[in-house]
Amino acid sequence: MKRVLGFLLTFVLFIFPFQFVRAEELKLAENAKSAILIEASTGKVLFEKNADEKLVPASMTKMMSMLLIMENIEAGVLKWDQMITVSEHASSMGGSQILLETGEKMSVKDLFKGVAIASGNDAVVALGEAIAGSEAGFVDMMNKKAKELNLKNTNFKTPHGLDAANHYSSARDMSIIARELVKHEKVLEFTSVYEDYLRENTDKKIWLVNTNKLVRFYDGVDGLKTGYTKDAGYCLTGTAKKDGMRIIAVVMGEPDSKTRNKEVSEMLDYSFAQYKIDTLLKKESSVGKYEVNKAKEKYIEVVPKSDVTVLRKKSEKSGNASYEVKLNDLKAPIKKGDVVGKLRIKENGKYIRTIELTTKNDINKANIGQLYLRYLTDIVTGDISI
């Protein structure tokens, strides 16, 4: 098969058109200072209230910390079974903690468990120091990542979220961080746990209870992060998945934990009652085979890096959606995960989202002998005329 640059591939699917609902049209998050409700795969905003107001995020800050930790684990900088020696600085953190002691050794997995379940300030600082060498260095990484994510109203001063001057974020920015975080599905194995233990079979055993009570009391909730300080009030980024659709709800500045949980539950109820997801393509579903210049394998399968989805409202008439595939000039070597093109989704005649494309497998560069043998084969099969 010969690859043609600019090749256009379009599939049509009947769906319902999406309409954004303004805050004044819904009685959601009435007690929150700010809030936002999004569908994770598309990023569509279903509801918002003062979503760009700069507020104190408290321990929801740890979502950015967990995102960086996950990226460093996946990059091999840290390993789950690696033992971390706790510094005096990390062990001195106040607020919620897992009672780490100076000089204590704990695995990355157990420290991450302490962050994800019990919101341990000491645990997140220990992990941050292991990655960046210091808490300050890790905070610099957090702010760099915030710029990469194009967060408009966020500035971090700590990795844990205890009140600090000039430490702020917004509900919208928190939802963007959460959306990135849930792409690392391993995180949800921790944030969905209601209770667990650290240091089992020792006299320093500690019981961890999830600060997010919705993981126990709301069907489908598997994360993500609570927060509370005097300045922030009660905050929560909750996420739940049902029928293939993941919803992320953020509230900030709630008056108490009961109201916080109630209003996030109502936001989730609304989402699952009103919307559903149509999946055009699953993650890593082939969108075709294409020829690669100077590759050991002549053809490669191109796949999306995430599910190709469209959000629709259940009550509205059908419209149509399609996608187009546009590839870069493909040259070996290519590693799985490398961006080789874009898939653009069009809904009702308008482009609404772009998804990166990669290859199904690593593509190695061919040597001279392999290229010569392919040349002779192409002559025999008629792919090349002489």
Alpha helix stretches (DSSP H) within 135-278:
135-148, 171-181, 186-191, 214-217, 257-274
Amino acid at 271: S
Tracing tokens 């290859």 back to the chain, one arrives at 359
Q: For residues 211 and 229, what is the distance between their CA atoms, to the nearest angstrom?
A: 14
**Helix, strand, or coil (residue 1):** coil
> For this structure, is 119 an active site residue?
yes
Q: Which residue among 34, 59, 87, 169 is the active-site one?
A: 59
Biggest alpha carbon–alpha carbon distance for the chain:
81
Q: Which residue among 65, 87, 119, 170 is the active-site one?
A: 119
Q: At what angle do helices 171-181 and 62-74 cross, to 10 degrees?
A: 20
- Rounded (10°) CA dihedral 250, 255, 258, 261: 0
Q: Could you say which DSSP state residue 160 is in?
A: S
Amino acid at 63: M
- Decide if 227 contacts 167 (C-beta within 8 A): no
Q: Which residue among 33, 44, 62, 145 is the active-site one?
A: 62
> For this structure, is 336 an active site residue?
no
Tracing tokens 């905050």 back to the chain, one arrives at 235
Q: Could you say which DSSP state residue 364 is in?
A: P
> For this structure, is 306 an active site residue?
no
- Rounded (10°) CA dihedral 166, 180, 272, 55: 0
List, by residue number, the catalytic residues.
59, 62, 119
